[in-house]
Chain A
Amino acid sequence: MTNLYEQQKRNIANTRLFITGFVLLLVFLGLSADGMLYAGGFSPGLPIATLGALCVGGMSAWWSLHGGDRAVLESTRAAPLDPSDPPQRVLDNVVEEMAIASGLPKPAVYVIPDADPNAFATGTGPEKSSIAVTRGLLDKLDRDELQAVVSHEMSHVRNFDVRLMTVVAALAGAILLLSDWGRRGFGWGLGRRRDSKAGGGIAGLLFAFVWIVSILLAPFVAQLVAMAVSRQREYLADASGAQLTRNPLALASALEKIAAEKGPTPSIKQGVAHLCIEDPRGGTLEQKDGWFANLFATHPPMAKRIALLREMAYQPASPTQK
């Protein structure tokens, strides 16, 4: 138990660390733009680009923490659970059971009209969270497996992963937006400079170089960080989910069934990928191991997750292996 509470604390500390990192990235983007402006002979007295970048980042983080979960749910066309439908009634019961097992308030439950099995959790922490599963998950999994998937999502809530991922996604989005503006602005700036012939000399060239590099690299770095955070959280959610149900094999067989459905989950947009139990893009990245897959996948390889869960139940890594 203790290491779970340590994990929670570390997660809260990590949230601060990642936010600091992203803020520094924003400041860097802003400063290099200000440098460009200054070298180009345009000096308003205040570092307006830096202030603007921080404003955009702050607003998107604030917005994601106040209503970002609702936007995510709406983007997937998730509908509130209908208790008169028997399979949804089972889901409602299973969520209640897992809330009791984790000692947390029961999250709001949503169903996504999509045939591909998948699930995600969102919200800002245990006090305000939602769990959404696809119709396909309800149809394809038995009660124990459904319970296991919900326990995984409940763990994301309990470990404060939902808040970490919400903020990380919002800041990565802000950086993407800013560097997009930066690229457009650069084209416009080049056009103007050719007209005016007011060169900034070596300093101007240097700032231009730094700026190009940063607007090209920033979204890439932001994306990599977001993915690394996401992958790291998945193993922990699998393990602490199994701790809730004391039934790691049910989660292993649920993951096997989910992985067997190769198709993507069309209702779930790419921006929500890192929140899901399986990558909804239906790619092959998470079937592979190695540095490339490790860099770009939002989720660790499925085979590795299943093997770890089977290990918890003292079973061989795969059913065929004796």
Chain B
Amino acid sequence: MGAIGGCLLILVIGAIFCAIWAIWRYNGLIGLRNQVANAWKQIDVQLKRRHDLIPNLVSAVKGEMQFEQDTLEKVIQARNSAVAARGVADAAEKENALTQTLSRLFALAENYPQLKANESVRALMEELSSTENRIGFARQFYNDIATRFNTAQQVFPDNLIAQTFKFQTVELFEIKDAAERAVPKVDLSIRPQPGA
């Protein structure tokens, strides 16, 4: 076995290592991509839960909050249009409007101590505020996992794998402009970034 044979052997071993590394990183990226998709579904589950709870709450507080019919009407309207929303961007907007009308309803309910004394109303309020928390935490988890996915695609040398197999970075929830910072508004769309 001469020098050429030795060189060939080294090349073959190097190629095998490269292939093993590529498979390992590719599988890692696939795993992350599925986690991102799963985190995304979790947000949907919680939004659905919110849609289901709202009619119950409204009918439970209707009697006591007679002077707030307008607000209750708006909550129901916002809920119905959120349920009927088509597409991700549309849903994001409608859900956001719903969050705002709901927080107004919660604030107004503070003025009705007899509501708080009512066991079933209190239980519904707890369920709904827990759902609001869950939506928030589901988005937070989505952002964390999406950031890991994006970072994994961008660091060297993993970016070679990501580019070869056309992985795309996902967008995070963020507050778009200063005026909206007071009431958090989120962009629910997963779109590839222009540069990716």
Main secondary structure of the interface of B (DSSP, over half): helix
Main secondary structure of the interface of A (DSSP, over half): helix
For the complex, give the distance between the alpha carbons of A102 and B119 in Å: 31
Contact, CB under 8 Å: A1 / B148: yes
| Residues of chain B lying within 8 A (CB to CB) of residue A90 | 126, 130
Q: What is the chain B residue whose CB lies nearest that of A4?
A: B144
| Residues of chain B lying within 8 A (CB to CB) of residue A24 | none
B178-193 at interface with A (beta carbon < 8 Å): none
Contact, CB under 8 Å: B141 / A100: yes
B102-143 at interface with A (beta carbon < 8 Å): 119, 122-123, 126-127, 130, 133-134, 137-138, 140-141
Is the interface on chain B under 10, 10 to 19, 20 to 34, or 35 or more residues?
Answer: 20 to 34
Q: Interface 1/0s, chain A 109-148, versus B by CB < 8 A?
A: 0000000000000000000000000000000000000010
Contact, CB under 8 Å: A101 / B122: no
For the complex, give the distance between the alpha carbons of A94 and B134 in Å: 9
Contact, CB under 8 Å: A97 / B130: yes
Contact, CB under 8 Å: A101 / B141: yes
- Known interface pairs A96-B130, A96-B134, A97-B134; A86-B141 also in contact (CB < 8 Å): no
B25 to chain A, nearest CB (A): 16
Partner of B46, one of A89, A100, A147, A244: A100
B39 at the binding interface (Cβ < 8 Å): yes
A residues with a Cβ closer than 8 A to B are 1, 86, 89-90, 93-94, 96-98, 100-103, 147, 244, 246
Beyond A89-B126, A246-B140, 15 additional pairs, beta carbon < 8 A: A86-B122, A89-B123, A90-B126, A90-B130, A93-B127, A93-B133, A94-B130, A97-B130, A97-B137, A98-B137, A100-B46, A100-B137, A100-B141, A101-B137, A244-B137
Q: 12 A-B residue contacts at CB 8 Å?
A: A89-B123, A93-B127, A93-B130, A93-B133, A96-B134, A97-B130, A101-B138, A102-B141, A103-B35, A103-B144, A147-B133, A244-B137
B residues with a Cβ closer than 8 A to A are 35, 39, 42, 46, 119, 122-123, 126-127, 130, 133-134, 137-138, 140-141, 144-145, 147-148
